[in-house]
Amino acid sequence: MPPIFVVLLVICVWISFLNPRFATVPGIMSFLMRAAPAAILAAGQLFVIVSGGFDLSVGSLITLVVLGSSMLIGGDPANTPWVIAVMFLIGIAVGVFNGAVTSWLKVPSFITTLGMLVTLKGFALLWTGGAPRGALPNNFRVFGRNRLSGVPLLDEVPYAVIILLVVAVVATYLLHRTGWGKQLIALGDNPRAARLSGVPTAKVRILAFVASATSAVIAGILLGGFSGVSTNVGDGQELGAISAAVLGGAKLLGGRGTMPGAIAGALTLQALFTLLNLLGWPKPLRDGLQGVIIIGAVAYTAWRERRS
């Protein structure tokens, strides 16, 4: 079993000692609900990371989804369905752009998506005049903050948790059970060998960026529902997603990574914050410890690799 699952388990047991309500069904459900956007984002980011790239644009895309939805819906709940569809189209367009520029213009994805990070944030702020405007109606926010009641055994299940579960299953299937997933890993492991052995590298890579951007749209819809309209909702989310994937055993610059690991990485970061919060650490110190832990985890993986 990858070490991240052990770490996650230890932290969760520790939290349960400090707060017994955490180990109940409602406690676990609200934990998963808070972790869902980051976990979904980590799942999307992993497709790009195993292919050997980065997607830094997801944080700004989240901000664009939240601000743009609020502008387009304009207070009329009847607009919600088509606005959500438009957001997915925007996400797909961003993903295709990121993948195409990287594949055909040979711009390293770190730079392509860094440019998109700047542009999308600028575009979102330009749209709203720089301030959060309007509010999201309840039929939009339901996905991020409401629960489905009357579920057997579990009683109430947040919609966000159901969405997380679906994303996790679909993403695991796509990465580990399809030809595309194998081609992605081959591409990240050795791009030239992959191309020479007939992998359609551009197509494979573009789809990875589309998957990542789509995950950002889903995360944006959940975050908009959970915490409402703000201009900094997406800030830093891209680095959190990369950290989660790396904690879950993914190798930067590609070739290795597992979907359950990346999702467990995101849950571990969320659990760690919960634990430190219970221990009374102020927020800045929690962020600081996160830095030490990511370095430690990657150093440990590198050390184990050299020993074997």
Q: Is 27 in the site for another protein (CB under 8 A)?
A: no
Residue 206 C-beta: closest distance to another protein, Å: 13
Q: Is 291 in the site for another protein (CB under 8 A)?
A: yes
Q: Is 191 in the site for another protein (CB under 8 A)?
A: yes
Q: Is 3 in the site for another protein (CB under 8 A)?
A: no
Contact range with another protein by CB under 8 A, out of 7-15, 63-71, 75-83, 95-103:
95-103
Q: Is 303 in the site for another protein (CB under 8 A)?
A: yes
Q: Select the residue interacting with another protein from 188, 220, 257, 260 (CB under 8 A).
A: 188
Identify residue 283 by its one-letter amino acid code.
K
CA distance 91 to 245: 21
Q: Select the residue interacting with another protein from 121, 168, 212, 259 (CB under 8 A).
A: 121
User: Exposure of 27 by Cβ count < 10 A (0-12 exposed, 13-18 middle, 19+ buried)?
Assistant: middle
Report residue 308 as tokens: 């074997």
Q: Is 111 in the site for another protein (CB under 8 A)?
A: yes
Q: Is 44 in the site for another protein (CB under 8 A)?
A: no
Q: Select the residue interacting with another protein from 28, 114, 154, 162 (CB under 8 A).
A: 114
Kindly identify the residues of this chain, within the stretch 242-271, that bind another protein according to CB under 8 A.
242-243, 246, 252-254
Q: Is 307 in the site for another protein (CB under 8 A)?
A: no
Instruction: Give 138 or 277: the residue with its C-beta nearer to another protein.
Output: 277
Report residue 105 as tokens: 């213009």
Q: Is 284 in the site for another protein (CB under 8 A)?
A: yes
Q: Select the residue interacting with another protein from 7, 11, 117, 175 (CB under 8 A).
A: 117
CA distance 256 to 247: 12
Report residue 12 as tokens: 């969760």
Q: Is 52 in the site for another protein (CB under 8 A)?
A: yes
Q: Is 109 in the site for another protein (CB under 8 A)?
A: yes
Q: Is 100 in the site for another protein (CB under 8 A)?
A: no
Report residue 181 as tokens: 């997933």
Residue 10 C-beta: closest distance to another protein, Å: 21
Count other C-beta atoms under 10 Å from residue 300's C-beta: 11
Kindly identify the residues of this chain, within the stretch 129-158, that bind another protein according to CB under 8 A.
130
Q: Is 67 in the site for another protein (CB under 8 A)?
A: no
Instruction: Give 77 or 288: the residue with its C-beta nearer to another protein.
Output: 288
Q: Select the residue interacting with another protein from 1, 126, 150, 153 (CB under 8 A).
A: 126
Q: Is 89 in the site for another protein (CB under 8 A)?
A: no
Helix (H), strand (E), coil (C) string for the chain: CCHHHHHHHHHHHHHHHHCHHHHCHHHHHHHHHHHHHHHHHHHHHHHHHHCCCCCCCHHHHHHHHHHHHHHHHCCCHHHHHHHHHHHHHHHHHHHHHHHHHHHHCCCCHHHHHHHHHHHHHHHHHHHHCCCCCCCCCHHHHHHHHCEEEEECCCEEEEHHHHHHHHHHHHHHHHHHHCHHHHHHHHHHHCHHHHHHCCCCHHHHHHHHHHHHHHHHHHHHHHHHHHHCCCCCCCCCHHHHHHHHHHHCCCCCCCCCCCHHHHHHHHHHHHHHHHHHHHCCCCHHHHHHHHHHHHHHHHHHHHHHHHHC
Instruction: Give 47 or 143: the residue with its C-beta nearer to another protein.
Output: 47
Interacting residues with another protein (CB under 8 A): 51-54, 101-112, 114-123, 125-126, 130, 187-188, 191-192, 194-195, 201, 205, 239, 242-243, 246, 252-254, 282, 284-292, 294-295, 298-299, 302-303, 306
